[in-house]
Amino acid sequence: MTSILMLSAYRSDSHALWATSVQHHLTADWRCLELPGRHFRWRIRGNPLSWLPELHALLQDWQPQHILATSMVDLATIKGLFPALAKVPSSYYFHENQFAYPVSSGQHHSIDPQMVQMYGALAAERLLFNSMFNRDTFLAGVDELLQRLPDHVPEGISTLLQQRSACLPVPVAPIERRPHGARSRPLLLWNHRWEYDKRPDLFLQLLRQLQQRQQPVDVALLGGRSQSVNPALEIIRQEFSGWIVVDDYPDRSQYLHWLQQADLVFSCAEHEFQGVAMLEAVSAGALPVVPDALCYREQYPPQCRYPAGDMAAAAERIVAWQQLPIVDISNWLQPATGEMWRQWLAAIR
């Protein structure tokens, strides 16, 4: 049985789903180290220090044959700190990449996260991306960064990294579709985090566009939220109280219930590398309305996509929602993705 050290330095929702599902579906001798999904800048730079005691203890009586680390992990530093890991073959898994991640107004610009990921990629034998969009923007970002560096920059780095790259989505379990009765108006689902990169301000604009077109909808407001209420959510609660049928971050069973009830699921995100929440909702029967950008171009047909940022065009898609096609996303779901991961395991043995 292959012994694998899994390192996940930022256990947020999609990272947790990935770590759990990969270990569940692949038979191996797993050891997993994780860190909480908070304090992003500290996590991406500090994880080798945070894991020093655990790795020292673990490697006293156990040696991995392979390392599977997320791109939040400073893999190059970890291999330098632990001679026992230096020559262990490694796969570097990109949930996201810092070259294509939008920076909020409260964050400072720094190339440190990008350098961590570039060095981590150079320290790994295999680079795994959850979408082609993720892979392509990472490689383009590496090229752009290297061109900005002043001197002594070797050629061919992005070509080398591309040769090590493959696309391997997070395994997403499909959700059973349940027919529901006819409604007087469609149920529109928002199941994203209420944070800047998901652009809830644009979602507010969409609802106003629908109101102008005299196209009321029922709205399910799900997704994670912080203690401080997002300003757009507060306004939506005030202006569209008569449209809201649920406004909660529910447990898994209730979450699945609302996904199975939804007619439409909407995104206006500024970044999305795989869009697990969208995939779950679409697998449950919701029709997607998404920007013509990001990973969505790989997943959904043109009829479901609107020009990014254009809420008038998005509203037109929703007004004519019954003309949207049923979408086949089976290649992004179990069992197809599980088989892809089994092939990865067979290749590293």
pLDDT computed for residue 103 by the predictor: 65
Amino acid at 75: L
Cβ distance 300 to 275 under 8 Å?
no
One domain for residues 204 and 129: no
Looking at the domain assignment, is residue 181 inside a domain? no
Tell me which residue range forms the domain holding 208. Answer: 187-328
For residue 200, say if its preceding peptide bond is cis, omega within 30 degrees of 0.
no
Looking at the domain assignment, is residue 87 inside a domain? yes
Cβ distance 187 to 262 under 8 Å?
yes
Query: Three-state SS across the chain?
Result: CCEEEEEEEEECHHHHHHHHHHHHHCCCEEEEEEEECCCHHHHHHHHHHHCHHHHHHHCCCCCCCEEEEECCCCHHHHHHHCHHHHCCCEEEEECCCCCCCCCCCCCCCCCHHHHHHHHHHHHCCEEEECCHHHHHHHHHHHHHHHHHCCCCCCCCHHHHHHHCEEECCCCCCCCCCCCCCCCCCCEEEECCCCCHHHCHHHHHHHHHHHHHCCCCCEEEECCCCCCCCCHHHHHHHHHCCCCEEEECCCCHHHHHHHHHHCCEEECCCCCCCCCHHHHHHHHCCCEEEEECCCCHHHHCCHHHEECCCCHHHHHHHHHCHHHCCCCCCHHHCCCHHHHHHHHHHHHHC
One domain for residues 156 and 212: no
One domain for residues 162 and 203: no
Per-residue pLDDT of the chain (349 residues; tens, 9 = 90+): 999 999 999 998 788 999 999 999 899 999 999 999 999 999 999 999 999 999 999 999 999 999 999 999 999 999 999 999 999 999 999 999 999 977 655 555 689 999 999 999 999 999 999 999 999 999 999 999 999 999 999 999 999 999 999 999 999 999 999 887 777 899 999 999 999 999 999 999 999 999 999 999 999 999 988 888 999 999 999 999 999 999 999 999 999 999 999 999 999 999 899 999 999 999 999 999 999 999 999 999 999 999 999 999 999 999 999 999 999 999 999 999 999 999 999 999 8
What total number of domains does the chain contain?
A: 2
One domain for residues 91 and 48: yes
Pairing of strands 187-190, 218-221: parallel
Looking at the domain assignment, is residue 231 inside a domain? yes
Best CA proximity match to 34, nearest among 2, 1, 5: 5
One domain for residues 224 and 305: yes
Distance (Å, whole) CA 19 – CA 24: 9
pLDDT computed for residue 339 by the predictor: 96
Amino acid at 155: E
One domain for residues 151 and 75: yes
One domain for residues 306 and 221: yes
Distance (Å, whole) CA 317 – CA 311: 10
Looking at the domain assignment, is residue 177 inside a domain? no
One domain for residues 56 and 202: no
One domain for residues 164 and 196: no
Pairing of strands 90-94, 126-129: parallel
Looking at the domain assignment, is residue 318 inside a domain? yes
Distance (Å, whole) CA 1 – CA 329: 32
One domain for residues 154 and 73: yes
Measured CA distances, 337 to 25, 127, 130, 181, 286 (Å): 10, 17, 10, 32, 21
Which residues 6+ apart lie within 8 Å of 35 measured at CB? 8, 9, 10, 11, 43, 47, 50, 51
Distance (Å, whole) CA 261 – CA 179: 8
Q: Can you give the pTM of this predicted structure?
A: 0.94
One domain for residues 140 and 223: no
Amino acid at 277: A
Looking at the domain assignment, is residue 179 inside a domain? no
One domain for residues 71 and 191: no
Looking at the domain assignment, is residue 180 inside a domain? no
Looking at the domain assignment, is residue 49 inside a domain? yes
Max Cα separation, the chain? 67
What is the CATH classification number for the domain harbouring 344?
3.40.50.2000
